[in-house]
Structure 1
Amino acid sequence: MKTSITLFLLTISFSLISCNDSKLEKNITMYEETWNQIINDGNIDLINNTNFTEDITLIASPENIVGIDNFKAYYQNFLTGFSDIKFTVVQVFGQEDNIVKHWNFKGNHTGDFFGIPATGKSVDINGVTLVKMKDGKIAKEEDFMDNMIFMQQLGLLPNQENIATINSIYEAFGKGDIPTVLGMMDANIVWNESSSSSYSDGNPYTSPDAVLNGVFKRLGEDNEYFKLENIKLSPLGNNQVLATLNYDGKLKKTGESYKTTVVHLWTLKNGKTTAFQQYLGLGKQ
């Protein structure tokens, strides 16, 4: 009798597990297909009461987005703001009515996005969404992503990694490690010396080799010593870094020492410097 009851309970347990697994699989399939069509196919009208509960809620700050119309209007910003969208569900799993989605969003910011005019920048951002299903419909979502990185990719916030890159360039230059400096330049860098510099005759220098031969080698040939001092870096939007510093040098030809204040404007992409503009203050070079 005891054996029969145990077998009966095991049978019921396996049946419930099988039922729950089937329900979860159905929820995940519905969820993935729905969002694929909404984002990748641009079918915003799939945000309706067939796929979402009437009180669909997006957990947000400072106020949650509640209801189909508000939810739809919120996500319309992504379809209006970006072109060439590619939304990928990297991984999805869950338990009962709870789903966890790891996703990637790529696109070009070519339209208005929550009031932000088009920047022309490309974004590539990862995130995670916690999902609550109810009766086979999407009932609640909460997104987690690095908004600072997202804003940096749009060029709306300074990228602190750019500061580290430029700082490394100045450190390498100070040590005389020119190969490292050149290695941190994009192959098609556009380098401009100040119009008052004697080295502006080669503007623009459009490769690391051109900068080496047209600027760095001439600095070495013309100066008994040449140092960069009091370097201060300021991150800007648009992947740019502004540097204020002093040149301290001594000309070989005349034996004259000089000091001058200068400004460097750097532009970066993918960890490489793509453009450089020098502005000279009072003094000589």
Structure 2
Amino acid sequence: MKTSTTLFLLLTAISLVSCNDAKLEKNITMYADTWDHIVNDGNIDLINNSNFTEDITLVMSPQNIVGIDGFKDYYQNFLTGFSDIKFTVVQVFGQGDNIVKHWNFKGNHTGDFFGIPATGNSVDIDGVTLVKMKDGKIAQEEDFMDNMVFMQQLGLLPNLENTTLINSIYEAFGKGDIPAVLEMMDKNIVWNESTSSSYSDGNPYKGPDAVLNGVFKRLGEDNEYFKLENIKLSPLGNDQVLAILNYDGKFKKTGEAYKTTVVHLWTLKNEKITTFQQYIGLGKQ
């Protein structure tokens, strides 16, 4: 009798585990497929009472969003604000009615996003969502992501990585490693010399080769030496970096040495220089 009871309990436990696993697998499949179609296919109408509970809750500060209409309006901002969207569920797992989703979102900010006008910037951000399911429907979500990085990618906050990149450009230039400088430029870079510079005759220089031939080679031909000194960098929003520095050089033709203060405004996109604007103070070039 004891053996029969033990066997019965064991089989019951195995059956329950199997049922729970099947339920979890079904929840995960439903969840991943639903968000794939909502974001990648732009099918916002899938946020409905067939896939979500009537009181679907997005946990956030300072106030939760509750209900299908509010939840739908919130995520409509992503579909309106971004084009070329690619939403990937990197990994998803769970226990019972609880699911954890690791995701990646890519897109181009080409539309209004929560009142933020289009910047044209690309975003590539990872995040995690904690999910609660109820009766096979999505009942609650809570997103976690690095909002500072997201804002930096949108160009709304200074990006310190841009400052590092610009600093590396100055270091490469100082070493005479012009190929490294050119490598950091976007293929469609637009480069403008100050109107008081003798090299402004080619403005705007378009593309790295134009900058090489119209500016860098002429600097080498015209100067006995040319150095950049006292470089101070300030990160700005909109993926821009401001540099204040000194030119220290000597003309070959006249033998005249010169020093001047200049300002450089750099704009970046996807870790490449897209535009450059030079402003020259008192002095000569």
Q: TM-score, normalised by structure 2?
A: 0.91
Query: 1:247 — aligned with what?
Result: 247
> Comparing 151-160 with 41-50, which one deviates more in the overlay?
41-50
Q: Could you tell me which runs of 5 or more consecutive residues in structure 2 were left unpaired when the two chains were aligned.
A: none
Aligned counterparts, 1:177-216, within 5 A: 177-216=177-216
SS of the equivalent of 1:129 reads: strand
Cα offset for 1:266? 1.3
Alpha carbons of structure 1 residues 70 and 14: separation in structure 2 relative to 1, 3 Å: same
Query: 1:16 — aligned with what?
Result: 16
Give the distance between the partners of 1:94 and 1:127, measured in 2 at CA. 16
String of CA shifts for 1:132-186, please: whole Å, max 9, x gaps. Answer: 1122221111111222222222222222211111100111222222232222222
Aligned counterparts, 1:86-125, within 5 A: 86-125=86-125
Are the aligned partners of 2:121 and 2:269 in contact in 1 as well (CA < 8 Å)? no
Aligned counterparts, 1:110-189, within 5 A: 110-189=110-189
Query: 1:66 — aligned with what?
Result: 66
Cα offset for 1:21? 0.7
SS of the equivalent of 1:268 reads: strand
Cα offset for 1:197? 1.1
SS of the equivalent of 2:230 reads: strand
Alpha carbons of structure 1 residues 158 and 253: separation in structure 2 relative to 1, 3 Å: same
Query: 1:256 — aligned with what?
Result: 256
2:223 corresponds to 1:228: no
2:55 corresponds to 1:55: yes
SS of the equivalent of 2:206 reads: coil
Q: CA RMSD in A?
A: 2.1
Cα offset for 1:283? 0.4
Q: Could you tell me which runs of 5 or more consecutive residues in structure 1 were left unpaired when the two chains were aligned.
A: none
Query: 1:30 — aligned with what?
Result: 30
SS of the equivalent of 1:117 reads: coil
> Comparing 181-190 with 245-254, which one deviates more in the overlay?
181-190
How many positions carry a matched residue from both structures? 285
String of CA shifts for 1:20-69, please: whole Å, max 9, x gaps. Answer: 01111121122123223333343333333332223322111122222233
Q: TM-score, normalised by structure 1?
A: 0.91
Give the distance between the partners of 1:24 and 1:200, measured in 2 at CA. 66
Alpha carbons of structure 1 residues 111 and 192: separation in structure 2 relative to 1, 3 Å: closer
Alpha carbons of structure 1 residues 275 and 86: separation in structure 2 relative to 1, 3 Å: same
Are the aligned partners of 2:193 and 2:200 in contact in 1 as well (CA < 8 Å)? yes
Give the distance between the partners of 1:31 and 1:11, measured in 2 at CA. 30
SS of the equivalent of 2:227 reads: strand
Give the distance between the partners of 2:40 and 2:172, measured in 1 at CA. 45
Give the distance between the partners of 2:33 and 2:264, measured in 1 at CA. 50
String of CA shifts for 1:54-100, please: whole Å, max 9, x gaps. Answer: 33221111222222332222122223323343333232211111111
Give the distance between the partners of 2:110 and 2:187, measured in 1 at CA. 27
SS of the equivalent of 1:74 reads: helix
Cα offset for 1:2? 4.2
Cα offset for 1:246? 1.0
> Comparing 129-138 with 75-84, which one deviates more in the overlay?
75-84
Cα offset for 1:268? 1.8
Are the aligned partners of 2:162 and 2:271 in contact in 1 as well (CA < 8 Å)? yes
